[in-house]
């Protein structure tokens, strides 16, 4: 009886799969030929890393603290005008090599929302290490009004929210260009609308954000750092945003290898124990 019920259930599942397949096939046939490729499919580029790569990639990767400090500077002087880092506290930057005094000074240089203790009204005050990076806009409506109705995304986890996030950020920042004549010839309807900017690394090729990094030397690095070219600044801020999304990346890599080693040792030990136990049982059978 149980076997019969199992067979009926199995046939039922098979029938459902066949119906779903048939429905999909009928939809394709009724729609006629497949839709032609769009401009997004043809001209969308895949993200790539800087020529020298990123120091944190791979199983033994580590963050370059000097690069992270430069990335924080680029974010503060360029990106912070539109994008927030709402999941990052000022005190977190101590992990980048800053002293306690430097963290306090950096926090105090930022204005964060507060409450006037005398009147109870909302006000702005100097930041504390425990405060988080403030949003440049009071609300989403104000953000949209200032950016052609496009709300700038928070960047705290942006490299985790995009495929190949570090490479994506770098490519997007360095990918602004004029629309190729070939695109306009093949897809005249894909002409970039007024107020948008063509970038082949963005999903639909056109985005509201104007090029944030426009000229070499836009941010002045301290002496001893690489030349602040557009590509260098893009790589630095991409590395910084990778750190904001994965601050424990190095520790995870360091912990992973000992764990793998222990699991391998335990597997070998279990195999040898199994051999010994079953060899004794086999001798008894003989």
Is residue 163 part of an annotated ligand binding site?
no
3-state secondary structure string across the chain: CHHHHHHHHHHHHHHHHHHHHHHHHHHHHHHCCCCCCCHHHHHCCCCCCCCCCCCCCCCCCCCCHHHHHHHHHHHHHCHHHCCCCCCCEHHHHHHHCCCHHHHHHHHHCCEEEEECCCCCCEEEEECCCCCECCCCCCCHHHHHHCCCCCCCCCCCCHHHHCCCHHHHHHHHHHCCCCCCHHHHHHCHHHCCCCCCEECCCCCCCEECCCCCCCCCCCCCCCCCCCCCCHHHHHHHHHHHHHHHHCCCHHHHHHHHHHHHHHHHHHHHHHHHHHHHHHHHHHHHHC
Establish whether 1 is an annotated binding residue: no
Q: Is 83 annotated as a binding residue?
A: yes
| Known binding residues | 79, 82-83, 209
User: Residue ranges for the binding site for heme c?
Assistant: 79, 82-83, 209
């Amino acid at each position: 009886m149980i076997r019969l019920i199992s067979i009926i259930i199995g046939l039922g599942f098979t029938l459902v799969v066949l119906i779903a397949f048939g429905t999909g096939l009928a939809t394709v046939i009724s729609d006629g030929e497949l839709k032609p490729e769009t401009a997004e499919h043809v001209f969308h580029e895949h993200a790539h890393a800087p020529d020298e790569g990123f120091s944190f990639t791979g199983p033994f990767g580590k963050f370059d603290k000097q690069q992270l400090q430069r990335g924080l500077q680029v974010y503060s002087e360029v990106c912070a005008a539109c994008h927030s880092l709402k999941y990052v506290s000022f005190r977190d930057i101590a992990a980048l090599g800053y002293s306690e005094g430097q963290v306090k000074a950096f926090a105090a240089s930022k204005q964060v929302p507060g409450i006037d203790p005398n009147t109870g009204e909302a006000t702005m005050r100097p930041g504390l290490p425990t405060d988080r990076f403030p949003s440049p806009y009071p609300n989403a409506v104000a953000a949209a009004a200032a950016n052609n109705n496009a709300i700038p995304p928070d960047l705290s986890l942006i490299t985790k929210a995009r495929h190949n996030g570090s490479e994506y950020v770098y490519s997007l920042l360095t990918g602004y260009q004029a629309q190729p004549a070939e695109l306009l010839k093949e897809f005249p309807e894909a002409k970039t609308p007024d107020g948008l900017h063509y970038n082949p690394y963005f999903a639909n090729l056109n985005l509201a954000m104007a090029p944030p990094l426009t000229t070499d030397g836009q941010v002045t690095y301290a002496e001893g750092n690489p030349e602040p070219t557009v590509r260098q600044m893009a790589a630095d801020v991409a590395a910084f945003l990778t750190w904001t999304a994965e601050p424990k990346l190095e520790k995870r890599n360091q912990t992973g290898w000992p764990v793998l080693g222990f699991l391998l040792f335990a597997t070998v030990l279990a195999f040898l124990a199994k051999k010994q136990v079953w060899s004794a049982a086999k001798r008894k059978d003989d």
